[in-house]
Structure 1
Amino acid sequence: MAVFKIVHITKYQYNWPIKESINEIRLFPHNFENQDVLQYELLITHNPEVEISKDYYGNRVGNFNNLEAHSEMTIESRMLVRVNHSLKIPEIDPTTIQDLAEEKEKNIALLRLCYPETIQKQNKIDAILNKISCTDKSVIEIAQQCNQYIFENFTYTKGITNIETTVDEILGIKKGVCQDFAHVLLQLLRTAGIPSRYVSGYICPNESGLRGEGATHAWVEIYTPTQGWLGLDPTNNIWTMDNHIKLSVGRNFYDCTPVKGTFKGLARQTLSVCVSIGYEDGRHFEEINDVQLEEVSVEEQVQLDYIEQLHHQQQQ
């Protein structure tokens, strides 16, 4: 059992004032059997009213508007979470993919989580599964071998992918970060017929020196009728432990995006994310990342360049 104090700060900055910012957030840690949320606080620039609801996957979702003109917006999520899930290896489970067929017929939600994406390089996914040889293996064994394959054949490299990077691109370069590896693992597992979902959360640092620790993290959960949802972390080739904190689940990253929104105005925006993790014994870790956002359209780029040129001339 472990207790973590996590502060997650998302900061948007704009080079020109914008207004009517409309946002959707999934920054509320899950309350479930192995994870208790002891305290939670949400602080947002201009203190807007946040409407809370639940989405299809059971995630708590917050929606709010920032109608006033502003050049900066900060969303600060503070939580105190107790995790008592220390399982490193699932129990022996003979469930096969064939055994899952009846379960999927009874549960449409599970069936939806078995459909892989339509990608151009599906033949590479099929080749990996053929190499692993899924015949007569349990769901647990197939999932573990897929997890291990990604860990051994893909290189953890920051800065070469972003939220728009596709599974096809990741299969081509065989490099990326936790989010990329989770998407590849999902493609493998769903192609094999295993219900799988994307998980967004945090991985708290420990003595093992896990990759991606101290920041937002992503992994995958598979379903078995006997044990429910079990977490696999392809970035580190492990089953999830008591230092994995779960925020939200869904089909992919887009279902679990911590913050997304839009605004009125024409401005360049930058995004930085700071995650601070504190332990009961006083240890403290902090990581700050600048997030690469989706590129603006050519038309928007021309307008932005024109505005900046006009402003520069006025300053002379």
Structure 2
Amino acid sequence: MQLFIRHQTIYRYSAPLTYTIQQLRLTPRAEILQHAISWQIKVAGIRHPYTDAYGNQSHMLTITGPHDEVAIIAEGLVESGMPYQGRITDKDTFSPLVFTVPTRLTEPTRAILDFAHAHLPDVGKTSTSALLNLAAHIRGAVEYQTGATIVTTSASDALQLGRGVCQDHAHLFLACCHARGIPARYVSGYIDPESTSHAESHAWVDVWVEDSDYTGWVSIDVTHACLMTDAYCRLAIGRDYDSAAPVRGVRRGGGTETLSVDVQVTPR
């Protein structure tokens, strides 16, 4: 499938800034089943390209001098293939055990440990079907509601609240897997929403499975309790949102910040 993607992010400020530095993970990952036919990032300032610790194509953006707005537009055409049973077979440069370490956003509390024990009984390894079952239970426990949480909301907070968005579903899934010794990692990217109400900007997970005919990563959309298809575009992987966010940064000055994001995903 070919997806045309346009992702516009605009930060506006009530007072001038003197300095902005941002980490951009806005370039689709180069993988066996995915490549960018064309892609560009438009933004004022200086961009330094680099590859981060997880193999994500990234940029460090710096803007100096007075400015009261930062506008970032990433757009292009991406070719994606259909992964067989959601399997991601790209060769890793490090052990999957890297993705068993809890983070601030995925720390397993007693409530998460109980939830994981109830819905993921096997310790250390499990099957694709069992993990899809976990995703379905998470979707039932945390109702999808736009605006219910923010990017700093932890898996524990989302479970207690009972509402959240795709990143909360992903964080709770990671927390449950880590509690049971199963490698799992966060994925940020885009999805062709078709007729659903969910935003085109999306988050899901890769999890290490041990099926009878396969051992390796399988990509699961927790929000929809389904396997990843060719309707997805993968931007970045990481331990959680903090390490895979499309845009993160700090600023000097600026007063009050207002954020506007518009994402369009159109199949070709």
The TM-score normalised by the length of structure 1 is 0.76
In 1, the alpha carbon distance for the partners of 2:107 and 2:9 equals 34
In structure 2, do the counterparts of structure 1 residues 59 and 120 end up closer, same or farther at CA, with 3 Å as the change threshold? closer
1:40 maps to what in 2?
A: 39
1:111 to 2:97 alignment: yes
TM-superposed deviation, 1:138:
3.3
CA offsets per residue over residues 243-264 of structure 1, 9 Å max, x none? 1110000000000111112222
In structure 2, do the counterparts of structure 1 residues 115 and 74 end up closer, same or farther at CA, with 3 Å as the change threshold? same
Q: How does 1:149-298 map to 2 (within 5 A)?
A: 149-206=137-194, 209-213=195-199, 215-224=200-209, 226-280=214-268
> 1 or 2, which has the higher strand percentage?
2
2:64 to 62, 67, 80: 67
CA offsets per residue over residues 262-281 of structure 1, 9 Å max, x none? 2222411111111122232x
CA offsets per residue over residues 28-54 of structure 1, 9 Å max, x none? 101101111100111103xx2311111
In 2, the alpha carbon distance for the partners of 1:141 and 1:43 equals 42
Percent identity of the aligned residues? 27
Question: SS at the partner of 1:144?
Answer: helix
| CA RMSD in angstroms, aligned pairs only | 2.3
Larger Cα Rg: Structure 1 or Structure 2? 1
1:49 maps to what in 2?
A: 46
Following superposition, which runs of at least 4 residues in structure 1 exceed 6 angstroms of deviation? 118-121
In 1, the alpha carbon distance for the partners of 2:217 and 2:107 equals 29
In 2, the alpha carbon distance for the partners of 1:15 and 1:241 equals 42
In structure 2, do the counterparts of structure 1 residues 68 and 146 end up closer, same or farther at CA, with 3 Å as the change threshold? same
TM-superposed deviation, 1:131:
2.1
**Unmatched segments (≥5 aa) in structure 1:** 91-106, 281-316
Counting matched residue pairs gives 259
2:55 maps to what in 1?
A: 58
Which structure has more relative contact order (CA 8 Å, sep 6+)? It is 2
In 2, the alpha carbon distance for the partners of 1:133 and 1:233 equals 17
**Unmatched segments (≥5 aa) in structure 2:** 88-92
TM-superposed deviation, 1:135:
3.7
TM-superposed deviation, 1:121:
6.3
In 1, the alpha carbon distance for the partners of 2:107 and 2:57 equals 34
Question: SS at the partner of 2:173?
Answer: helix
TM-superposed deviation, 1:168:
1.9
The TM-score normalised by the length of structure 2 is 0.89
CA offsets per residue over residues 47-77 of structure 1, 9 Å max, x none? x231111111000110121112111110110
CA offsets per residue over residues 80-130 of structure 1, 9 Å max, x none? 10111254566xxxxxxxxxxxxxxxx864222112347786222222233
2:118 maps to what in 1?
A: 131
Letter in 1 for 2:56: N
Q: Is the 8 A contact 2:86 2:220 kept in 1?
A: no
